Amino acid sequence: MSEIIDLLPVIFIASSLILLVTRRFSIPAYSSYIVTGTLIGFILQATNLGFLPPPDILDSGIVTGIAEIGAAFLIFVTAIRITPQRIKRFGSESFKTSAAQVLIQHIIGFTTGIILGLGAVDSFFIGFAASISSSLVSMNLVNPDADDDKVYTVIAESISLIDDGIAAILTVFVISGLAVGSLEGVILGSLLLLIPYSLRDTVAETVLDRYREDPETLLLIGIASVISLGYMAKTFGVNPIVGVFGAGILLSKTPYNQALIEALEPIKDFFSAVFFVSLGTIAAIPGQTMIYVTAVLLTSIILVRPLSIVFLLRRQGIDSYNAYKAALNLDQISEFTLLAALLAEGTGVLSTQIFQAIVFTAAITFITSDLSAKYADRIYDLMPEFLKFESIDEASYGFNDKKNHSIVVGYDTIGRKAASKLENPVIIAAKPGNVEEAEKDDMDVVFGNPLNDKTWIRAGVEGAEHIISTIPEDKHASKAAEKNKKSIIVTETDEEAETSIQDEKVLYADTVENLSSTQLKDKIQKLHAA
Q: How far apart are CA 401 and CA 45, in angstroms?
A: 68
**Beta bridge partner(s), residue 427:** 408, 445
Of the candidates 225, 317, 274, 341, which has an alpha carbon nearest to the alpha carbon of residue 4? 274
- Look up residue 187 and give its amino acid: I
- Look up residue 10 and give its amino acid: V
Q: How far apart are CA 80 and CA 268, in angstroms?
A: 12
Which pLDDT belongs to residue 314?
Answer: 85
Residues near 423 by Cβ (< 8 Å), separated by ≥ 6? none
User: Do both 469 and 371 map to the same domain?
Assistant: no
Residues near 131 by Cβ (< 8 Å), separated by ≥ 6? 101, 102, 103, 104, 105, 106, 109, 305
User: Do both 338 and 361 map to the same domain?
Assistant: yes
User: Do both 151 and 291 map to the same domain?
Assistant: yes
User: Do both 75 and 212 map to the same domain?
Assistant: yes
Residue range(s) defining the domain that contains residue 517? 399-529
Q: How far apart are CA 229 and CA 404, in angstroms?
A: 60
Per-10-residue mean pLDDT, the chain, length 530: 66 71 69 78 68 59 76 82 62 79 91 90 91 77 52 81 79 59 70 86 85 85 89 82 86 82 80 80 71 90 93 83 89 85 80 86 86 88 85 64 87 86 85 79 85 83 87 83 82 75 74 65 63
Residues near 328 by Cβ (< 8 Å), separated by ≥ 6? 306, 369, 372, 373, 376, 379
Q: How far apart are CA 469 and CA 490, in angstroms?
A: 6
Is residue 44 included in any domain, yes or no?
yes
User: Do both 379 and 403 map to the same domain?
Assistant: no
Is residue 393 included in any domain, yes or no?
no
Which pLDDT belongs to residue 307?
Answer: 94
Rounded to 10°, the helix 240-250/62-81 angle is 30
- Look up residue 41 and give its amino acid: G
Residues near 199 by Cβ (< 8 Å), separated by ≥ 6? 250
CB 497 within 8 A of CB 510: yes
Q: How far apart are CA 97 and CA 311, in angstroms?
A: 9
Final residue before a domain boundary, out of 363, 387, 411: 387
CB 138 within 8 A of CB 332: yes
* pTM tops 0.85, yes or no: no
Final residue before a domain boundary, out of 387, 407, 438: 387
User: Do both 211 and 279 map to the same domain?
Assistant: yes
SS3 content of the chain, % helix, strand, coil (to 5): 70, 5, 25
Could you count the other beta carbons within 10 Å of the beta carbon of residue 21?
11
- Look up residue 309 and give its amino acid: I
Q: How far apart are CA 443 and CA 416, in angstroms?
A: 10
429-466: string of b/e by CB count within 10 Å (b at 16+)?
A: bbbbebbbbbbeeebbbbbbbbebebbbbbbbbeebeb
| φ, ψ (nearest 5 deg) of residue 447 | -95, 125
Which pLDDT belongs to residue 168?
Answer: 74
Is residue 50 included in any domain, yes or no?
yes
**Helix, strand, or coil here: 348?**
coil
**Helix, strand, or coil here: 343?**
helix
User: Do both 72 and 214 map to the same domain?
Assistant: yes
Is residue 173 included in any domain, yes or no?
yes
Stated as kind and residue range, the H or E segment containing 510 is: strand 506-511
Does residue 255 have a cis peptide bond before it, meaning omega lies within 30 degrees of 0?
A: yes
Which pLDDT belongs to residue 310?
Answer: 92
| φ, ψ (nearest 5 deg) of residue 486 | -60, 125
CATH number at residue 450: 3.40.50.720
CB 460 within 8 A of CB 405: yes
Is residue 190 included in any domain, yes or no?
yes
58: which DSSP letter? G
Is residue 295 included in any domain, yes or no?
yes
Q: How far apart are CA 127 and CA 431, in angstroms?
A: 34
User: Do both 383 and 406 map to the same domain?
Assistant: no
- Look up residue 321 and give its amino acid: Y
Is residue 167 included in any domain, yes or no?
yes
CATH number at residue 233: 1.20.1530.20
Residues near 59 by Cβ (< 8 Å), separated by ≥ 6? none
User: Do both 114 and 41 map to the same domain?
Assistant: yes
Final residue before a domain boundary, out of 352, 387, 422: 387
Is residue 262 included in any domain, yes or no?
no
- Look up residue 465 and give its amino acid: E
User: Do both 359 and 213 map to the same domain?
Assistant: yes
Which pLDDT belongs to residue 461?
Answer: 87
User: Do both 382 and 407 map to the same domain?
Assistant: no
User: Do both 372 and 416 map to the same domain?
Assistant: no
**Number of domains the chain is built from:** 2
CB 442 within 8 A of CB 423: no
C-alpha of 368 from chain center:
16
Q: How far apart are CA 71 and CA 523, in angstroms?
A: 59
Q: How far apart are CA 167 and CA 161, in angstroms?
A: 10
CA 390 vs CA 187, 293, 313, 384: distances in Å:
47, 33, 12, 10
CB 100 within 8 A of CB 309: no
Which pLDDT belongs to residue 147?
Answer: 47
Helix runs in 446-516, H state only:
453-458, 474-481, 494-501
Stated as kind and residue range, the H or E segment containing 324 is: helix 320-327
Q: How far apart are CA 133 and CA 326, in angstroms?
A: 12
